[in-house]
Amino acid sequence: MIANMRTVASQISQRLSRAENTADPKFGTFAGVFVPTVITILGAIMYLRLGWVVGNAGLGGALLIILLAHVITVSTGLAVSSIATNIRVGAGGAFSIISQSLGLEMGGSISVPLYLAQGVSTALYIFAFAEGWQRIFPGSYPSLVVFTAFALVFIIAFISAKLASRIQFFILAVIGFSLFSALLAAFPTTRRPGLTVTPLLWGRFSDGNFWQIFAVFFPAVTGIMAGISLSGDLRHPRKSIPKGTLGATGVTLFIYLALAYWLSRVATTEELLRNTTVMVDKAFFSWAILAGLLGATFSSALGSLLAAPRVLQALGKHKVLPFGDYFARETEEGEPRQALIVTGVVALAALLFALRGGGLNAIAPLITMFFLITYFMLNAVVFIEQMLGMVSFRPTFAIPKIVPAVGMIGCLFVMFLVNPAFSLVAIMVTLGIYGYLLRRQLQTPWEDVRSGLFLAVAEWATERVSRMPQAPERTWSPNVLAPVTSTKSLTGSYRFLRAMAKPQGAVHALGIYPPGRRQQVADLAGLAQAFEEDGLYGRCTLLEEPDFVAGTGAAMEVLSSVFFRPNILFLPILGDNHRDGVDELLARATDYGMGIVLFARNITVELGREQVINVWVREQSPEWKLGLRLANLDLAVLLAYQIARNWHGRINLCMTVTDAEIQERANQFLRELFSLARLPRNTSAYVTVGAFWDVLPQAPRGDLSIFGLQTTPDLNFVEKISTTLSASCIFVRDSGNESALA
């Protein structure tokens, strides 16, 4: 059946395409934005629920509901109009706008509920059509009317958007005449008494509180998405979206205010509450209202069924959803048939739900939440762009910052007043989709402002922090500078660096190469990317310099003045490599306030089981006092804690003493260190009496041993320790900015 429909639809669509006066099949402002927006806004709620709103809230309450709803919609319309004049709006409307500003992940997380809202809206308008139909034919079966209307709407949408557009012109004329019929009824005649009822200023809210009535009314003003979602079918979306959206919003606001006043003056409160088709009874031509009702609701259903598949198609094109290639397909005439079929299933499911759950009033609040989330993000996009003040944001239609701010606050306020529980669920679902899309690492085909947003926050924070008293001990995290002359020399230290710096630290790989030898460090960027993939911030800099020591010294001097400067100089010590000039590098690191880590990697056992870290503490005679600063022990303890946390291992605090009489005092010192440094509970203390070189081979077996580094390093001493232990070791010196006890 679907295959036959496709064949017929293709033939009709081709005939329509040949019949166009222009070779450009896209829509202009009037046909593409203004008409679908007006028809969608002046639809089911206006004909069937506006009188009910006035009956519950009174004239004053109804006007307040209309104005409040339009505050949110107008601010969103202004925000969308502004951002549309700053970017090239692609297919998908709100999805395109949000994605180009905050990335595909955010655009997708918002557009999935937007798509569902538009798909479910089709069911709302079908139910409204059925209510109008039953007014003309009271004996008809509601379910039969609902499914017949849905089938007809689906077939028209399946054939061509052009055909649907032409039908909408006719329906707009019908709606216009129905409103004219209401206007005529305002004047007294022999048939109609005119405006004779004294309106109730504030209603009794018989069918719910103020916000529940608002929730039923709000879908009336969500029609702006009907035009915006057709952005991919517009000739000039940058011009058409602002003009069509704002024009339609202004016209429909006036109509709603006028109709609310008219209803309050032509019908009593009891009539407004009891009779959902009261406009039919009170208009000059009853049949005109019925025709407008049927036409508007049918056209609104058609508009939603046209807009939603285009959002789904855009999501598919950018691989936001699984089976994206299927959703992204379109016919030669540009019709998203596969996306339309899926949307039809969604709308049909909503129809079945509504038939079991209470009809129109059961669906309306659900749609309200979906649209409010989308409106919030559209306003947030513009507000963020405005606050960043970036030169790339220069819309030709500028608006004050207060406009999107009001829209954002209004959306959140209304969401939680209408239904707090569902608001939280909707927000959690949106965040869940966002988290899922982040893990998929989508490839964005355009630049967005996320980096600018974080840069602006960083600049703001940097400025504030620079004015505050410095407290490096409380904010310390390992920020490692690792200079190398080849990528291979850093690859061997990869696992150790990851364990030392993850999760809050960073590794800055510095590749130093002589002229013409760039290839030996060319793939260092790939290693930095590997750190990123492992959840650690990694970056890479390549420097042409024949002298390794001079190049490293120059890099330390330059980086010492930046805000997020390296605080640890990391040097792998392998045999005789890099021995020349090490003393000079270590002295320079001290001058620039950097800690030092020399890594003596045992190429046989490497890091062993990555479980046990031995921290060697020198004897503290005669004071044995623990102050805020430890004697070249702070960095050792902090690194031990970092590594043990990442290895899920344990720490041994080791000490040798030459006198058995002070052994207990040494144990007490290590226990105090364990307590004040807040080390893990499985930390152990080992104090051994004897000469250091005699005790060293008998120490508890460790996968990594940490020693303090002398002020004047003796690399032979370093090598002797590594050889004696037959294990990987690091030798560290504090910079003075660390504190294990802070």
The CATH number linked to 737 is 3.40.50.620
CA distance 133 to 281: 15
Model confidence over 465-496: pLDDT tens digits? Answer: 566 555 566 678 899 999 988 888 888 888 99
What is the model's pLDDT at position 729? Answer: 92
Lowest mean pLDDT among 60-64, 240-244, 713-717: 713-717
pLDDT at 22: 45
Of 19 and 311, the structure prediction assigns the larger pLDDT to: 311
Query: Residue with structure tokens 């946390």?
Result: 645
Q: Is residue 128 part of a domain?
A: yes
The three-state secondary structure class of 726 is: coil
Of 143, 98, 109, 139, which is closest to residue 123 (Cα–Cα)? Answer: 143
How confident is the model over 390-431, as pLDDT tens digits?
A: 666 788 888 999 999 999 998 888 888 777 877 887 788 888
Task: Provide CB contacts within 8 A for 156, sequence distance 6+.
Answer: 163, 164, 167, 302
CA distance 528 to 541: 10
Is residue 363 predicted with pLDDT exceeding 70?
Answer: no
Would you say residue 454 lies in a domain?
no
Task: Return the SS3 of 480.
Answer: strand
Confidence tier at 459 by pLDDT (50, 70, 90): low
Q: Distances from the Cα of 235 to the Cαs of 26, 33, 271, 332, 718, in angstroms? A: 5, 11, 47, 18, 73
711 vs 735: which has the higher pLDDT: 735
Residue 733 bridge partners (DSSP): 596
Same domain, 571 and 617: no
The 3-class SS string of 324-337 reads HHHHHCCCCCCCCH
Distance CA 376, CA 379 (A): 5
Please check whether residues 197 and 263 belong to one and the same domain.
yes
Say what percent of the chain tops pLDDT 90: 20
User: Which stretches within 318-419 are classed as H helix?
Assistant: 324-328, 337-357, 360-388, 402-418
- Determine the average pLDDT of the residues in 433-441: 78
β-pair type (704-708, 506-513): unpaired
Q: Beta 595-600 vs 568-572: how paired, if at all? A: parallel
Query: pLDDT value at position 23?
Result: 44
543 in the same domain as 610 = no
For the stretch 621-672, pLDDT in tens is 877 877 666 768 889 999 999 999 999 999 999 999 988 888 989 999 999 8
Shared domain check, 588 and 613: no
Domain boundary among 542, 567, 595: 595
Whether 658 and 682 share a structural domain: yes
644 with 702, same domain? yes
Dihedral angle, C-alpha 463, 468, 469, 475, nearest 10 °: -70
For residues 249 and 253, what is the distance between their CA atoms, to the nearest angstrom?
6
Residues 556 and 536 both lie in one domain: yes
Per residue in 670-702, pLDDT (tens digit) is 998 888 888 998 999 999 999 888 888 888 889
Residues 489 and 418 placed together within one structural domain of the fold? no
**Nearest-CA neighbor of 226 among 288, 291, 161?**
161
Of the three residues 549, 566, 595, the one that is the final residue of a domain is: 595
Question: Shortest CA distance to 361 belongs to which of 212, 547, 225?
Answer: 212
Give the helix/strand (H/E) hosting 535.
none
What are 388's two structure tokens? 């960043």
> Does residue 461 belong to any structural domain of this protein?
no
CA angle (431, 436, 439) in 5-degree steps:
125
3-state secondary structure of 391: coil
- Confirm if 97 and 269 have CB atoms less than 8 A apart: no
Structural domain span for residue 557: 471-595
Considering the chain, what percentage of its residues have pLDDT values greater than 70?
Answer: 85
- State whether 568 and 609 are in the same domain: no
330-349 average pLDDT score: 84
Neighbours of 31 (CB within 10 A): 22
Looking at the structure, do residues 423 and 478 belong to the same domain, yes or no?
Answer: no
Same domain? 253 vs 150: yes
Angle 737-739-742 from CA coordinates, rounded to 5°: 125
Choose one of 580, 595, 610: the last residue of a domain: 595
Does 581 fall in a domain?
yes
pLDDT of 440 > 80? The answer is no
Give pLDDT, residue 404. Answer: 92
Domain count of the chain?
3
Residue 384 has pLDDT above 90, yes or no: no
Tell me: pLDDT of 318 over 50: yes
The answer on 623 and 582 residing in a single domain is: no
pLDDT of residue 730: 92
Which has more confidence, 357 or 546? Answer: 546
pLDDT of residue 532: 85
Please name which of 392, 460, 344 lies closest in space to residue 101, comparing C-alpha atoms. 392
Convert 62-71 to b/e letters by CB count within 10 Å (16 or more is b).
bbebbebbbe
Is there a domain that residue 293 lies in? Answer: yes
Judged against a pLDDT cut of 70, whether residue 460 lies above it is answered with: no
Instruction: For residues 301-324, give the mean pLDDT.
Output: 82
pLDDT value, residue 132:
78
**What tokens does 107 get?**
């655009």
Residue in 380, 412, 420, 393 with CA at minimum distance from that of residue 106? 380
132 belongs to a structural domain: yes
Q: How confident is the model at residue 8 (pLDDT cuts 50, 70, 90)?
A: very low
Q: What is the pLDDT of residues 221-276, one digit of tens each?
A: 877 776 676 666 777 777 888 888 889 999 999 999 999 999 999 999 999 998 88
pLDDT digits (tens, 9 = 90+) for 120-160: 888 878 887 887 788 788 888 888 998 999 999 888 888 86
- Rg of the chain, C-alpha, whole Å: 36
Could you tell me if 232 and 300 are in contact, meaning their C-beta atoms sit under 8 angstroms apart? Answer: no
Q: What is the pLDDT of residues 544-576, one digit of tens each?
A: 988 888 888 888 888 887 777 888 999 887 544
pLDDT of 577 strictly over 90: no
Q: Left if phi > 0, otherwise alpha if psi is -120 to 50, otherwise beta: which for 705?
A: beta
- Label residue 699 left, alpha or beta by phi (over 0 means left) and psi (-120 to 50 means alpha): beta
pLDDT of residue 597: 92
- Residue 52: the pLDDT is 94
| Domain at 324, CATH number | 1.20.1740.10
Indicate whether 466 belongs to any domain: no
In a domain, 15, yes or no: no
